[in-house]
């Protein structure tokens, strides 16, 4: 057992590559992070940044081949999830570490009643009798706010709406009372009002049960309300990590700043939005130096050749930007620039 100050999950130098006919796609290329008990770590990034592949890697759900975990460790409660034998992993996965996927329609078995699917982990991991498991399944549905749970357990997934299915998925992920929940874009397919219900539910259950959550999303709004700490990913690499408030209000990487400034909420209506020039890089090609340097407004020669790794700037707040470390660049968001501009006028 671990002591209280070691993190629940510690990931070091994780690399997952896909060996395809067109070359090696470095989907995740050396990321490190940790999750403490009961806290929420938000992982943000655009499509192709490797955030989902990271989570699939932790659950060892990467199709091999073509995928391969090249290096790294993911220590959960003293056990390395990436190296432990499949037999032992099965006792952890779906029991102590569980996952919610983005699309609840494709992740529920359409042929099985939801009750059966909810009971399965209890029968396998907890050794409950069918009767007890069924009672527990009904209670789990009640906990996620599904009315008439006693009869709803006998329904098939197609008889539920999108929001309800996502509730079933959450009930299923939490039924074994896991210590760690990985939520991969759990609300992206849902409408805002339903999203608000689901986010509220995850927060409530997390508070009650002390579950740690890794919350993966591309939506900065969702992250700002959910996460205690944030990890920003770009092209398979981590570019910034820190407490949510620090990352949002004082970003220390030009990519984080660009991401925040690209959203309309950072601007007055109709005002020209900040844009990032160019396109995300092709991760199957070698990317020397900082992966963002090709699109970065502040990049210098050294950025394209020096390996960029996260270095801590202040307690718990790290950035991979070379120029920020050297002190030759101060990252300022539009909002801050605007506020100080107004201050000068007043």
Partner 1 sequence: MNAQTQNFLEVRDVKTHFPVHQGLIFQKQVGAVRAVDGITLSMRQGEVLGLVGESGCGKSTLGRTIMQIIPPTFGSVMINGQVVSKLSAGDLKRARREFQMIFQDPYASLNPRMTVFDTLAEPLLFHGLATKSEVTEKVSELMREVGLAPRFMKKYPHEFSGGQRQRIAIARALALQPKLIIADEPVSALDVSIQSQILNLLVDLTKRRNLTMIFISHDLGVVKHISDRVAVMYLGKIVELAETKALFAHPRHPYTRALLSAVPLPDPDKEKARTRILLEGDPPSPMNPPQGCRFHPRCSYMKDACKASEPELESAAPGHEVACLRHQEI
Q: Using CB under 8 A, list all residues that contact partner 1.
A: 46-47, 161-164, 191-197, 199-200, 218-225, 244-245, 248-249, 258-260, 262-267, 269-270, 272-276, 279
| Structure tokens given for 16 | 């997952």
**Which residues, listed in sequence order, are joined to residue 215 by a DSSP beta bridge?**
42, 183
Report the first-to-last Cα separation within the chain, whole angstroms.
58
Phi and psi at 11, nearest 5°, equal -105, 130
Q: Judged by CB, which is closer to partner 1: 74, or 144?
A: 144
Task: Tell me the closest approach of the beta carbon of residue 332 to partner 1, in angstroms.
Answer: 17
Q: How many CB atoms lie within 10 A of CB 204?
A: 13
Listed residue (4, 216, 224, 2) closest to 101, CA to CA: 216
Q: Judged by CB, which is closer to partner 1: 6, or 262?
A: 262
Phi and psi at 234, nearest 5°, equal -145, 125
Tokens 């970065």 belong to 296
- The answer to whether the beta carbons of residues 118 and 168 sit under 8 Å apart is yes
Task: Tell me the closest approach of the beta carbon of residue 135 to partner 1, in angstroms.
Answer: 25
- The answer to whether the beta carbons of residues 212 and 228 sit under 8 Å apart is no
Q: Judged by CB, which is closer to partner 1: 220, or 303?
A: 220
Task: Tell me the closest approach of the beta carbon of residue 160 to partner 1, in angstroms.
Answer: 10
Q: Judged by CB, which is closer to partner 1: 132, or 219?
A: 219
Separation of alpha carbons 4 and 40, rounded Å? 16
Q: Judged by CB, which is closer to partner 1: 76, or 234?
A: 234
Q: Judged by CB, which is closer to partner 1: 11, or 213?
A: 213
Task: Tell me the closest approach of the beta carbon of residue 90 to partner 1, in angstroms.
Answer: 36
Listed residue (258, 259, 261, 231) closest to 243, CA to CA: 231
Task: Tell me the closest approach of the beta carbon of residue 210 to partner 1, in angstroms.
Answer: 20
- The answer to whether the beta carbons of residues 115 and 153 sit under 8 Å apart is yes
| Structure tokens given for 43 | 């992982």
Task: Tell me the closest approach of the beta carbon of residue 250 to partner 1, in angstroms.
Answer: 12
Task: Tell me the closest approach of the beta carbon of residue 166 to partner 1, in angstroms.
Answer: 11
Q: Judged by CB, which is closer to partner 1: 119, or 201?
A: 201
**Which residues, listed in sequence order, are joined to residue 29 by a DSSP beta bridge?**
15
């Amino acid at each position: 057992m671990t002591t209280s100050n070691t993190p629940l999950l510690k990931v070091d130098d994780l690399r997952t590559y896909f060996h395809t006919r067109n070359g090696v796609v470095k989907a995740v290329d050396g990321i490190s992070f940790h999750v403490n008990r009961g806290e929420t770590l938000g992982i943000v990034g655009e499509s192709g940044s490797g955030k989902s592949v990271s989570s699939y890697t932790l659950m060892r759900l990467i199709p091999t081949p073509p995928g391969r975990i090249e290096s790294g460790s993911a220590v959960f409660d003293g056990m390395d999830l990436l190296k432990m034998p499949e037999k032992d992993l099965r006792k952890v996965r779906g029991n102590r570490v569980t996952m919610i996927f983005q699309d609840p329609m494709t992740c529920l078995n359409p042929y099985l009643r939801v009750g059966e699917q909810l009971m399965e982990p209890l029968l396998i991991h907890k050794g409950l009798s069918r009767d007890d498991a069924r009672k527990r399944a009904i209670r789990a549905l009640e906990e996620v706010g599904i009315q008439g749970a006693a009869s709803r357990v006998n329904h098939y997934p197609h008889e539920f709406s999108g929001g309800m299915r996502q509730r079933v998925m959450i009930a299923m992920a939490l039924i074994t009372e896991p210590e760690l929940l990985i939520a991969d874009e759990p609300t992206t397919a849902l409408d805002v009002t339903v999203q608000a219900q689901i986010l509220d539910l995850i927060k409530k259950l997390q508070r009650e049960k002390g579950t740690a959550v890794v919350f993966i999303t591309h939506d900065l709004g969702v992250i700002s309300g959910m996460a205690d700490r944030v990890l920003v990913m770009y092209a398979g690499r981590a570019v910034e990590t820190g407490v949510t408030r620090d990352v949002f209000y004082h970003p220390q990487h030009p990519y984080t700043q660009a991401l925040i400034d690209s959203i309309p909420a950072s601007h007055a209506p109709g005002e020209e939005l900040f844009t990032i020039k160019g396109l995300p890089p092709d991760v199957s090609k070698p990317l020397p130096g900082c992966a963002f340097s090709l699109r970065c407004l502040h990049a210098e020669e050294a950025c394209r050749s020096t390996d960029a790794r996260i270095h801590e700037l202040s307690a718990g707040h790290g950035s991979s930007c070379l120029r920020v470390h050297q002190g030759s660049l101060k990252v300022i968001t539009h909002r801050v620039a605007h506020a100080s501009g107004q201050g000068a006028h007043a």
